[in-house]
A = this chain, B = another copy of it.
Amino acid sequence: MPILLILSAANLFAQSAPGNVVKYHATINDVKYVYASVPPVARLKPGDILDTNTLDCFGNVIKKPGDTLSMVKGDNPLTGPFYIEGAEPGDTLAVKILDLEVDADQGVGAFAPGFGALNETNYTPMLHSPLPEKIWFYPVDHASNTATFQALDSKFSVKIPLHPFFGCIGVAPSAGEARSSIVPAEFGGNMDSPEASVGNTVYFPVNVPGGLLYMGDGHAVMGDGEVAGTAIEVPLRARVQLNLIKGQKINWPRFENDNAIMAVGAYRPLDDCMRIAFTELVAWIHQDYGLSELDAYELLSQVAKIHLNEMVDPNYVVVASIEKKFLPPKKN
């Protein structure tokens, strides 16, 4: 496994010259619904900062009680793609998330029949009748940084602190594939990872020239597993910085911050998500931090963290991580 990711996120972005700021405003007229090789909406250089926005997963059409999911034109409209100059297959794209703001005064949660972890779905079908469609509206209080859950079947309500992140962030897939914006896989995509939030860097394999970065499906906050099928869905205003690690290849997306390294497993079933995330994490530790594979395996058995992001999309997502304080110094 030729995995060598020697530069840390910190170094990577510290070393880069202060980049230009590229602004791009997305509307429903120019969003995309697949991760694919199509003409970019903008081009950036490594080190550049991107100021942009994303629509919510419903294309911003669910606004008030009485609105229904039949009004949605397409799920998870994506902003992009953005072409990164110099990115070639075999490189790694680094996206540091600098700022994310909820771009609305309310969020939306929806139970859609055939989607969710505790009911029949397209891929776990059963003979039961579907549960009924339901929509919850969450007023957002920007001052207190909370959204309010209001029960539909009782008067109960409660405030929930916000943690905004991209539900969708990914690049054009390999092998000429084009994948729906509801799918997470090797190219990232609909990972629904709360790790895609401010302070973290996310790495993707570059599969096509320019990499072609897409973002969307903003979440104001989400529980582990996203069990009923949606988070508190919101449009976002976003600022990210792009960078490139030339000639270094990864197989699956990764996250990193000052405190931890985090490997993504995005497939199906959960047992295989776990195997993907942890073999990637063992390889990362072995390559960049120098522990033998078996020592890394044992150490993870004592200090690993698992974040089960979601079990509702066409593939499921697990993030396995270790705090850097438990690791040797990085090689080189």
Contacts and interface: CB of A to CB of B under 8 A. Distances in A.
Given A152-B295, A176-B34, A306-B308, A131 B120 contact: no
B33 A275 contact: no
Nearest to A37: B178
Given A153-B292, A177-B34, A291-B154, A232 B302 contact: yes
Tallying the copies of this chain within the complex gives 4
A275 B118 contact: yes
A30 interface: no
A297 B118 contact: yes
A149 to B, nearest CB: 6
Nearest to A224: B306
Interface in A21-41: 33-34, 36
Interface in A261-303: 267-272, 274-276, 278-279, 282, 290-295, 297-303
Interface stretch (A43-51, A81-89, A122-130, A202-210): A122-130
Nearest to A279: B125
Interface in A134-193: 134, 136, 149, 151-154, 156, 158, 160, 175-180
A247 interface: no
A119 B128 contact: yes
B227 A300 contact: yes
Interface of A: 33-34, 36, 109, 111, 116-120, 122-129, 131-132, 134, 136, 149, 151-154, 156, 158, 160, 175-180, 221-232, 251, 267-272, 274-276, 278-279, 282, 290-295, 297-306, 308, 311, 316, 318, 320, 325-328
15 contacts: A109-B302, A119-B128, A127-B131, A127-B279, A151-B295, A153-B294, A158-B327, A177-B177, A223-B300, A223-B301, A224-B304, A229-B301, A269-B271, A270-B270, A308-B318
